[in-house]
Structure 1
Amino acid sequence: MAEHYSSFEPKGTRWLLQRITAVFLVAVLAYHFMLLHFVNHAAEITFAGTQARMSEVGYFITMVLFLIAGAFHGVNGVYNALVNQGLKGTQKTVVKWLLIVAGALLIVQGIRVAIAMTGLF
């Protein structure tokens, strides 16, 4: 039988955060679909409605946390998939930092857009 290998340290912090972010992402995605596809149908979604939703503090915080959780979950998942495929040494370090920078830029730009969507600034 083949040995199971994972770059995640069992019960480590990144392992735990990957699972927590997965649960959070599924829950918020379900909320998103309920709100924007069943309560309000896609054809009814407007820029003004988006601004109204983003102006609500709870919704804004939820969407920013969704962005951060999604970026972490994706970057961490890609990194670990590459490590599981045999990425080592200098390449591993370079890829890790490229993914960290890309994730950070994604979060910064996403927060800028979220703030702009509030219509307050």
Structure 2
Amino acid sequence: MAEHYSSFDRGGRRWLFQRLTAVFLVGVLAFHFMLLHFVNHAADLTFLGTQARMNRPWYLITMWLFLVTATFHGVNGVYNALVNQGLTGSRKNAVKYLLGIAGILLIVQGTRVSLAMTTLV
């Protein structure tokens, strides 16, 4: 039988954060689908409606936390999948820093877009 291997150290911080962000993302995705697919139908969504939602501080904070946790969850998941496939040495370091920079840039750009959609700031 094949031996189980994971780049996550069970009980480690990255392992814990991967699970915590997954739980948060499931909840926020449920909220997103309920609000934007059942309460407001896709055909009814407009720029002004989006701007009105983003002007609610709780909604802006929720969407920003969604951005940050989804970015971490995705970047961490891709990195660990590559490590599980055998990525080692200098390539592992290069991928780690490249994904880290890409994640930071994604959060910065997402924050800029979020703030541009609101009149709160």
Matched ranges for 1:106-121 at <5 A: 106-120=106-120
Matched, 1:13 2:19: no
Aligned position for 1:102: 102
Structure-2-length-normalised TM-score = 0.98
- Structure 1 residue ranges without an equivalent (≥5): none
The sequence identity of aligned pairs, in percent, is 71
- Structure 2 residue ranges without an equivalent (≥5): none
Aligned position for 2:59: 59
3-state SS of the aligned residue for 2:7? coil
Runs of 4+ in 1 over 6 A off after TM superposition: none
How much has 1:119 moved relative to structure 2? Answer: 3.5
Q: Which amino acid aligns with 2:96?
A: K
Matched ranges for 1:63-78 at <5 A: 63-78=63-78
Aligned position for 2:32: 32
Matched, 1:85 2:85: yes
Aligned position for 2:45: 45
How much has 1:120 moved relative to structure 2? Answer: 4.4
Q: Which amino acid aligns with 2:12?
A: G
Structure-1-length-normalised TM-score = 0.98
Q: Deviations over 1:25-44 (max 9, x none)?
A: 11101100100111111111
| Alignment root-mean-square deviation, CA | 0.8
Q: Which amino acid aligns with 2:10?
A: P
Q: Deviations over 1:55-87 (max 9, x none)?
A: 100000000000000000000000000000000
